[in-house]
Structure 1
Amino acid sequence: MSISNDTHTGEESESQTFSFQPPAGGDIVLKSCDGTTFNAHSVILGMASTVFGGMFYGATKPDPIELAEDAESISLMLAFIYPVAPPHINTIDHLEKIMKVSQKYDVERMTKFIEEAVTLGSKLMTLDPMRVFYLCVTHNFPAIQALTAESFRPKSGNLLTVDGLLQLAKYFPQAAPVIGLVGAQGARVKILDQVLIRSPQKYGCYQLSALGDDKNHGAALPICPSHVPPTSKSSYGSGSGSGVPGTRTARVPDYCIVWLRQLHDELLEKPMHECNDLFRAACLANFSTQKCIDCVAVTIGKKDIFEQWALNVKQIVRNELEVLDPLYSL
């Protein structure tokens, strides 16, 4: 599988091509797929690689052995095989090439180098963990694969978000449907938590058109007389009021918070269409964690106001969950 350049890091795109030629006196010619030739020493290559040992049997110098790799890949491999200081591998592109040829040609020195170079906290590990993970799976480096998975963090690719999951699916297209299925569940949990528990006001679940305020004169959600907020003297109260002197401060009724949590819990277990009873005011009477029964009684008596608000929240949740649609069709 070929991964498009848009998944690579900027640092890699600036890497320079590596070039290496064996010392003089070679008795075998290797030819890259892009036409570069290398006069290599069959004894040295045969000692480093059992694959080359078999490949050179019966070959003669006038007959170049054509390899499928490009000149840079062969240069990197030869630089590891010959008794010289190994090249400095500091890009994922180069790592990919040496991983591939080390396994294909069974070059033990390269394999050992890779396992020692790609460790927890190493530069190669942190450059692009998702791509390193993909390379380990593709080229069979299970130990590094496990380390990469262990070091994976949201900044490397948040797999609780749709973008992160789609990026992962690009690397593993054959597994894309499974990635979508499993990933959508995790991403859905996170969205419901953000919208209904952590930040309902941010997403508009407490919007003033539902709760009522002095600007749009919307119908405020009902509360009992004992919970009617005091008149504002100068600024915002504990709720989300207008802060205009002489007006009442809007207050989110306790049963709204309880209801949002109940909706959250039910949506974790079943789809929206199976939660229709929650969007009727009568459901409030069934909650065991109510702080004020009088507020609930008043609200049930004015059910149209509550149900209008609840349906608005329903639409907010639906809109936020639409981001998961690409995952369902992977």
Structure 2
Amino acid sequence: MSGEFLITKRILLTREGQPALRRILVFTHTGRKEAIAAAIETCGLLHAAGVRPVMRKKDHEAIQTASTGLRLQIDILGQDCTIEQVDLGVVLGGDGSVLRAAELVRDASLPLVGVNLGHVGFLAEAERSELADTVHALVIGAYTVEERMAIEVQVWRDNVCLAETWALNEAAVEKANRERMIEVVIEVDGRPISTFGCDGVVMATPTGSTAYAFSAGGPVVWPEVAALIMVPISAHALFAKPLVVSPDSIMAVEILTRSEAGAVLWCDGRRTIDLPPGARIEVTRSDKPVLLARLNTTPFSERLVNKFELPIQGWRGPADEDERRPATTALPVIGPGFQSVEPHHKDEPGIPLVARDEMK
């Protein structure tokens, strides 16, 4: 279940104590020279450790074109092996690259580990400078696997399902035209919450809370929290606050028909469909999570500080248990036998405070 963690150790050894032959799928952004260089280095490190690197055909062709002297044996996914025969996926790039890889491996329940080559890289587990150590940890199986909640998304109109898909980060309903806002009704568990004009509405997972939803003013939700998030974008309303609801709730956005403004649905910034007036978008928790490999146990709060470079000067931290001292004063709890003081009215400063005995 999402919000809970599936912790495993994958250590595959031969009788001689050496790593058994494994296959690790390498994803890379072939449009960037830095990503291609990282992929070549990763494949070399895996090959030297006795692990067979696997790549998609188009990625392999890009690598061969960029490095004519590369003589490593690399399996081609779909030709030399199936995705079910792969143990792990390594993604070289930013969060967008991780989302692209998740599309391919989700049905196979293949864990992914991201090596950040982008900017923030919240979904990445390691940085480019840590590539060699990362590959070594993966080879010896020194990682755990964490479940991340995904969402199922359906688009309805006139009781007909126009489309269905899923998302790891968010499903975002956005206005199609810059000059015209859309009018929507937001809903939770079959009950309307509010109606307003806006630029859109983001429905996100805890993983996606630090992505589009965060940029729209939504809360940061720790990944292990089981919840769904709804965040209006530039809403023209007094009550258009971000909502955090039960993971078992059904969130919905209806596009009103009283204006002709069109909308667009984006899922993880990858899959899209045009939304006509009258369309209804429903989001529920998916039964199939995305698996992310973790190399360390760094708390999410520390990752948050590092990724956003948050100022933490002045923090002293909690004292050690053996250095803690008992409270110097115990504050009384007001109850029977205690007296409370009624404050005087702010416009009558000359009236003294009067004690009232609550036992009377």
TM above 0.5, yes or no, is: no
Q: Specify the TM-score bucket, using the shorter chain as the normaliser.
A: under 0.3
Give the strand-richer structure, 1 or 2: 2
TM-score for the superposition, normalised by structure 2: 0.22
Which structure has the highest helix share of the two? 1
Larger Rg: 1
Higher relative contact order (CA 8 A, sep 6+): 2
Normalised by the size of structure 1, how large is the TM-score?
0.23
